[in-house]
Copies of this chain bind each other. A is one copy, B any other.
Amino acid sequence: MTHAGTPPTPRSTLVVTAHAGDFVWRAGGAIALAASRGEKVTIACLTFGERGESAKAWRAGKTLEEIKAIRREEAERAAAVLGAQVRFFDAGDYPLVATAELTDQLVALYRETQPDVVLTHPVEDPYNGDHPAANRMALQARVLAQAIGYPAPGEIIGAPPVFYFEPHQPEMCGFTPDVLLDITEVWETKRKAMECLAAQQHLWDYYTDLAVRRGVQLKRNAGPNLGLPHKTVAEAYMRPYPQVTKELA
């Protein structure tokens, strides 16, 4: 679908998240995989997670601005490790409020990045209302960006597939894995990115264990014949829209 003489546009992935750390824990493998194939990955961090996910810093007496600065810097380092670029919207967390203005900024980002794939939070999370708010804006902006009548800069987009990454307590969020993504070959990269988030060290092992657990399930769903490595690790995703394909596999 590219014309002879012009280099093909690399595939583009857009990740829309509520807080600065979310993309690392939940989608670091998918991001690293895409980047390792030479694709472009853009991460929208709607907030820094400054109020709701920085308890340790608050207890240490940091100010709001200091906390934001720390979170920003950590997220930028983690994104660099993964091979992605971050955009910060600083919309304020706990609660993150879904607004027309913020949605409009996301429409512009969709049109700018022309994503082939979109990653975001699932619909429900009874433990953190910011995640559903991010989900709603990510989905609404994707639909608006498709409409030629919606007044925003840039070309309209197609209908890129959407993937929801895994929440902290999946069963309480109506999360059922529709896709198990094999991230074995980028695992070291994801682990390094996690280690950029110094304030949440207790999560490093937690998300390592989760990757092993999803890897065991991946092997169980792929059968014993595939020659998968013993230490397969994986991430789980949901699809809110049907997969479009030319081959059942």
Partner of A243, one of B37, B147, B178: B178
Interface pair B147/A94, CB less than 8 Å apart: yes
Partner of A248, one of B30, B177, B241: B30
Whole-angstrom distance between the alpha carbons of A94 and B148 in the complex?
11
**A74 interfacial contact with B, CB 8 Å:** no
Which A residues, 21 to 73, have Cβ-Cβ distances below 8 Å to chain B?
30, 33-34, 37, 50-52, 54-55, 58-59, 64, 67
| A177 nearest CB across to chain B (Å) | 5
Interface pair A246/B147, CB less than 8 Å apart: no
Q: How many copies does the complex hold?
A: 6
Interface pair B147/A51, CB less than 8 Å apart: yes
Q: Chain A 120-151 against B: per-residue CB contact (8 Å), 1 yes, 0 no? A: 00000011110000000001100110111110
Question: Can you list 21 pairs linking A and B with CB atoms under 8 Å apart?
Answer: A33-B247, A37-B247, A52-B150, A58-B148, A95-B103, A119-B248, A146-B223, A146-B224, A157-B223, A158-B222, A158-B225, A160-B223, A163-B248, A172-B177, A178-B242, A180-B242, A181-B246, A181-B247, A182-B244, A206-B216, A221-B244
